[in-house]
Amino acid sequence: GQNIDQPTEMTATEGAIVQINCTYQTSGFNGLFWYQQHAGEAPTFLSYNVLDGLEEKGRFSSFLSRSKGYSYLLLKELQMKDSASYLCAVMDSNYQLIWGAGTKLIIKP
Amino acid sequence: GAVVSQHPSWVICKSGTSVKIECRSLDFQATTMFWYRQFPKQSLMLMATSNEGSKATYEQGVEKDKFLINHASLTLSTLTVTSAHPEDSSFYICSARDLTGTEQFFGPGTRLTVL
């Protein structure tokens, strides 16, 4: 079966760095997405990785290792507004998105 | 970036009535649109995939006669919840995929409450 695993909840301090991990097992691979979702809102796109390595975009970076079925989202200089759920999703061989359950990130002052 | 709109943003209806939710891609053509449902504190659940001009493909456990999907044009898909019941109360989100076939763009969601 297809499976995406990520931690349920994480807590971090304002100004610090946090890494959210995601491991996956899917039938085929056409890229991995990270989305941010605030409570009561739809997800918003953060990053897309299809090749191994690190993609940096401002305070957010995303890493992919296809051989290990592993990705992480790195958030630097955390701000209170970063409190949200972070969803990992993998596009399988049918170009369908397989979603993780999401990681709720709590930022404390 | 690409914009997807949903209408209405929220709706309250009586049990037994039908509710139609519209999903529009405003500045791109979406050959494929997806309908998701999300219950509180849970992840997105894909309900169905709709391709323009053809019947929608429903995920296992989703009743196609209850959740009617129409994708009549490259910019519009509709989801009709027929004979809604309180257990259908949820956050319904659509997304649209452009012709490049990778990223999905999400609408803002529709919060449905059935009394």
* pLDDT exceeds 70 at position A83: yes
> By a Cβ cutoff of 8 Å, what residues of chain A touch chain B?
30-31, 33, 35, 40-45, 48, 87, 91, 95-97, 99-102
* pLDDT classification of A97: cutoffs 50, 70, 90: confident
At B101 the pLDDT is: 67
Alpha-carbon gap: B31 to the closest alpha carbon of chain A (Å):
13
**pLDDT by residue (tens digit) across A39-64?**
888 899 899 999 999 999 999 999 99
Cis previous bond, B8, omega within 30: yes
Alpha-carbon gap: A92 to the closest alpha carbon of chain B (Å):
11
CA distance B95 to B30: 9
* pLDDT classification of B53: cutoffs 50, 70, 90: confident
Q: Residue B92: which of B1, B8, B2 has the closest Cα?
A: B8
At B28 the pLDDT is: 87
Low-confidence winner among A16-30, A70-84, A94-108, B95-109 (lowest mean pLDDT): B95-109
Greater model confidence, B101 or A55:
A55
